[in-house]
Amino acid sequence: MANEQASPPSPAWAVASVARAAGIARRALTERGTERDAALLMLKAALATVIAWQFAVRVLHSPSPFYAPMAALLVVDRTMVRSLWASAQRVVAVVVGMSAAWLVGSLVGVHWWSMLPVIYLALLIARWRRLGDHGIQVPAMALLSLLTLGGTNTQFTYLAIVETVVGGVIGVLTNAVVLAPLHVHKPREQIQLLTKRVCELLNDISAGLREGWDADAARRWYDVSTELIALAPSIRAEIETGVESTKFNLRDNLRPLDVDWAGYAETVEAIRRSQWQISGIARTLVDAADDEEAQPAPSPAFVDEYAGVLDDIAQALGHFGLADETERTVVRDCLRHAAATLDRLGEKVRTTELDDPRAWPAYGALLLDGQRLVRELEVHGGRAVMPTDSGPIRRPAPEALRLWSEPEDTSP
């Protein structure tokens, strides 16, 4: 019924919510990860807010200590670069908003016709992308000043600006001194997990080809490969955050980390490009196994040898990006063996009569995707770096950071 009130949450729902919250708190205390990072960031934001509030009351003797704690609260961010940038954005927004209100209020007073152009101009400035999320502070500060003090109180305007600057400085210093954020572990773990999943997918396809596959299995391989492609941009973003977190960071300055960020990015790029080819292989197998598609499957002998190619590539990925020369030799040998097998299979297809001549597109697609897959790993293998449990491998040379300025190739 329309007048019937919503029933209160059941006790079971409340218990489940408390259990989830307790689980998050336990992971934040005992495990390194997203929960701990979020908890630490909130703790630092709260600490910076209290310090800024007390500074405004005890040192600045502010009658309404609002701007300092608010600025401190909003500038504590995941990296020092973002904290500094957020502080600068907020200070500019407050200065522009308060100054505009003070100028108009002092010259012509507060009237509907004077507020209209001021607020409109403030809204235009707020859309300036360099102010980011803090752009909304421009019209907010202008409106607050005009409505409360008519924009004419010079002392209020001056104190609000000083409080904002002080609050931003306190927020940045708190973020820098209290366990300055370093985001190193998450991208390393994600790269390891991504590579592991690709190896598992290749082994799964290889086993399926030997044991017999159907359209459902091939579609599952295709879906997994597509999912892995979609993970690459988020891992690249985590790597960029890791690079950013080392800048202006006291912890990294005191004990510099030895991380080859450019090598990590090269590894992710190699995996991403390899997934294009694996997706193509899976798509070909979907068509070959689908009874509704007029695309016959390759011969069992061809498929069995092709499974060996995928095994070689999976083995190469298991050693991919490791610094030891022995590991790199394994990668090269596995890729060479895979390439040789593909060449031999291609020669057989060209010189031997096919069991079903209509299957030649499937042969060609599998051979071409396999060759492309091998080439992608060969091209990136020399520069790729795989994170290991024993720690980072090396620091990138300054010129290696040019990788981040190169446009991303989105071609399939």
Does 71 score more than 90 pLDDT?
Answer: no
Per-residue model confidence as pLDDT tens digits over 358-390? 778 888 899 999 999 999 999 988 888 888 754
User: Is residue 84 within 8 Å of 172, Cβ to Cβ?
Assistant: yes
Highest-confidence segment of 6-15, 93-102, 342-351: 342-351
Please state the rounded mean pLDDT for residues 194-221.
92
d(CA 74, CA 85) in angstroms, rounded, equals 11
State the sign of the Cα–Cα–Cα–Cα dihedral 59, 65, 69, 74.
negative
| Model pLDDT, residue 11 | 66
Please state the rounded mean pLDDT for residues 198-209.
94
User: Which residue has tokens 């961010």?
Assistant: 77
User: Which residue has tokens 């990788």?
Assistant: 403
**What residues does each domain of the chain span?**
31-177, 185-405
Please state the rounded mean pLDDT for residues 238-261.
77
Per-residue model confidence as pLDDT tens digits over 109-123? 777 787 888 888 888
Distances (CA, A) of 102 to 63, 93, 152, 283: 19, 14, 5, 65
Residue 138's CB: how many other CB atoms inside 10 A?
27
The whole-model pTM stands at 0.71
Residue 394 pLDDT grade (very low, low, confident, very high; cuts 50, 70, 90): very low
d(CA 174, CA 172) in angstroms, rounded, equals 5
Highest-confidence segment of 150-159, 178-187, 365-374: 365-374
DSSP state of 294: S
Closest by CA to 396, choosing from 271, 265, 273, is 265
| Model pLDDT, residue 331 | 93
Higher pLDDT, 361 or 402: 361
Please state the rounded mean pLDDT for residues 350-354.
82
What's the mean pLDDT when you consider all of the chain?
A: 81
Structure tokens at 304: 């069995």
d(CA 316, CA 314) in angstroms, rounded, equals 5
Q: Please give the share of the chain, as a percent, with pLDDT higher than 90.
A: 33
Per-residue model confidence as pLDDT tens digits over 50-65? 999 999 999 999 888 8
Class of domain 185-405: mainly alpha
Distances (CA, A) of 90 to 71, 87, 169, 377: 7, 5, 11, 46
Does 103 score more than 70 pLDDT?
Answer: yes
Higher pLDDT, 299 or 144: 299
Per-residue model confidence as pLDDT tens digits over 132-146? 777 887 888 777 777
